[in-house]
Each structure stands twice: as C-alpha cells, then as structure tokens.
Amino acid sequence: MTGHLVAVLHSPSLTSGQRTLSRVALAADLLDCATYSVTNLWPSPMRDVTKLNSVLVPGIPLVVGRSQIRSELESPTTTDVLLAYGVQLPTGSARAYFRDQIEWLEEFCALGDRRVWTLGGRAFHPSRWQRVTHREMPGLEFGDAVAELITLQRSGKLKAT
C-alpha cells in the first residue's frame, strides 16, 4: 500500500465519529492508500448542514476551512481525495456559501495530480454509505458494495440535490 487519502467532510463530528472514520479507512484500503486523514469544509462541529445558517456572519467572506483543506491536499504524501461532505444543500444564505466552498474545492482539486473519488458519483457522507449501498446493491456485503460504488471523478461538476 502506498499513498495517502484525504477525506473532505462537511464539519467535525459532535461524537467520536468512529463510524465515519472506519468507513474512510475502508475507502483508503480499497484505494490502496496506506494512510488517511480527514479535513472539513467547515472547521467547527455541527450536527448537519441545516445548522450552518446559525453560525454565518452576514457580509463577511467565508473562506473558513480553506487553509486546513489546502494544507491537507498540498501535502506531498496526498495521492487521493475522497469528497464526502454530503449531498444535502443547506437552506437560506448558507446555500450560497456551501456552493462557493464546493466550487472552490473542485477547482483546487483540479489543480493537482491527485485522484478524486466519490461514492456512486456523489459526495455522500460516509455515515450514509449503508443507505446508498443497500439501495444501489441490495444483498451485497457492505464492503463489496462500497468497492463497486467508489467512483473516480474525472471531470465535470458533482451533482448536488
């Protein structure tokens, strides 16, 4: 195994995040990465994207989280990136911020020679992978279904709901 996988999530977990971390570890193993780490679009813990509106300050450019993401992705050991920040867009003013962060992230990923991955062509959060794999590949063991659904993003925008 070689390489390092960076999983880009929405925000740090309010709990231990063990389920998420074990699924990122599974992805790293499937992608032949010896190590992995996690970074977030938003650096503060939050239950879900709907809470983003309560922490935004109107009129201030929101580039929070970009320096940590940049540092992780620019590391010379980073070979792979897993986009796993979730597919639900926040509402209200946070929607524009979220879309801006995603656009910046996609452009930043395009600058390097890292491989960029998703599950099934979308940035599903690892805590939701069980639902996705069950729906898309019922009856298949979880790890086998993830192996089938992990997708290399070659070009174009990711789909958001």
Kindly state the greatest CA–CA separation across the chain: 49
16's tokens = 């231990």
DSSP string computed for 57-80? -TTS---TTHHHHHHHHHSTTEEE
Please tell me the predicted confidence (pLDDT) of residue 44.
65
Which of residues 57 and 29 earns the better pLDDT score? Answer: 29
64's tokens = 């929070």
Say if CB 77 and CB 94 are below 8 A apart. Answer: no
In the structure, what pLDDT confidence band is assigned to residue 155 with cuts at 50, 70 and 90? Answer: very low
Q: pLDDT by residue (tens digit) across 67-103?
A: 889 999 999 999 999 999 988 877 777 777 788 888 9
Please tell me the predicted confidence (pLDDT) of residue 93.
72
Mean pLDDT of 18-35: 96
Which of residues 15 and 77 earns the better pLDDT score? Answer: 77
Distances (CA, A) of 46 to 4, 9, 27, 110: 26, 12, 23, 28
Long-range contacts of 54-62 (CB under 8 A, 24+ apart): 56/93, 56/94, 56/97, 58/93, 62/97, 62/100, 62/101
Task: State how far the Cα of 4 lies from the Cα of 156, in Å rounded to an integer.
Answer: 24
- Structural domains in the chain, CATH included, are 4-152 (3.40.1360)
